[in-house]
């Protein structure tokens, strides 16, 4: 398994105490997390995940099964985890992270913290409406209603949309066909992040992640919508850094 393929932008820090593995939202790419390095201290080494079919992996087929995806990703992670690590996942990324951690625990690997951002708990995702089957126009109208994740200049550029739309639809297929299976709770702690104006994920729904860990989760709500993390990047990084560095002493 090629570690570089899955983690193309690792910033190696000799003084790093933790590796922070970041998983993207639907349609997201690894480079979207690179600006976090501006706000994260050198003790936290950023490792953003590149999923198949985008950026440095553009020529590969999308993976439409979360089980297949996490099988492959868990193998790559085992090459990477040689120090304490944490996982951050936004929206779809949190769901992928949850399934990934279930795979990693079979290898006795567990994170110091699982940061869950703007994602409803897995047991509440079954039977949701499926927008990946809508027409392009209706599909994008629904996606835009959740926040300003895609800049207007991109939406108005047909060439860029021809690149973004297929991976968005593939990721929503992955998300909306997710087959939740009840299993023993994870033993790692959770930190839950969300936005006050998120029309999809409410604070009360976020708190239901508690049934999937043996630890008591902490909750932090920011101003903003489903993509609050793009507006409050520094504040988010400060919260992550405090949790990993100050509370682990």
> Catalytic residue numbers?
91
Strand, coil or helix: 146: coil
Strand, coil or helix: 224: coil
Contact 52, 78 (CB under 8 A): no
- Give the whole-angstrom CA distance, residue 200 versus residue 127: 15
Contact 168, 26 (CB under 8 A): yes
Could you tell me which of 86, 69, 115, 70 has the C-alpha nearest to residue 21?
86
- What tokens appear for 197 in the block? 């104006």
- Give the whole-angstrom CA distance, residue 158 versus residue 170: 18
Q: How many CB atoms lie within 10 A of CB 130?
A: 12
DSSP assignment of 107-142: GT---SEEEEES---GGG-TT---GGGS-HHHHHHH
- Give the whole-angstrom CA distance, residue 204 versus residue 226: 15
Residue keyed to tokens 């809508």: 134
- Residues with Cβ within 8 Å of residue 4, at least 6 apart in sequence: none
């Amino acid at each position: 398994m090629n570690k570089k393929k899955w983690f193309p932008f690792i910033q190696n820090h000799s003084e790093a105490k933790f590796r922070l593995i970041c998983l993207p939202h639907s349609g997201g790419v690894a480079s979207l997390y690179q600006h976090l390095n501006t706000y994260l201290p050198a003790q936290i080494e950023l490792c953003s995940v590149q999923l198949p079919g985008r950026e440095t992996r553009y020529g590969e087929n999308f993976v439409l099964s979360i089980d297949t995806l996490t099988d492959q990703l868990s193998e790559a992670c085992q090459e990477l985890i040689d120090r304490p690590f944490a996982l951050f996942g936004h929206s779809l990324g949190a769901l992928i992270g949850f399934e990934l951690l279930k795979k990693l625990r079979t290898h006795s690997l567990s994170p110091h913290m699982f940061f869950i951002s703007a994602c409803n708990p897995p047991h509440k995702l079954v039977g949701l409406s499926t927008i990946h089957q809508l027409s392009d126009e209706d599909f994008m109208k629904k996606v835009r209603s959740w926040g300003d994740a895609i800049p207007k200049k991109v939406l108005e550029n047909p060439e860029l949309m021809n690149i973004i739309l297929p991976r968005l639809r593939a990721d929503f297929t992955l998300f909306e066909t997710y087959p939740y299976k009840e299993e023993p709770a994870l033993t790692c702690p959770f930190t839950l992040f969300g936005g006050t104006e998120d029309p999809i994920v409410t604070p009360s729904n976020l708190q239901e992640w508690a049934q999937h860990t043996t630890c008591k989760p902490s909750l932090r709500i920011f101003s903003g919508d489903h993509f609050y993390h793009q507006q409050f990047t520094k504040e988010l990084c400060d919260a992550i850094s405090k949790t990993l560095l100050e509370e682990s002493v």
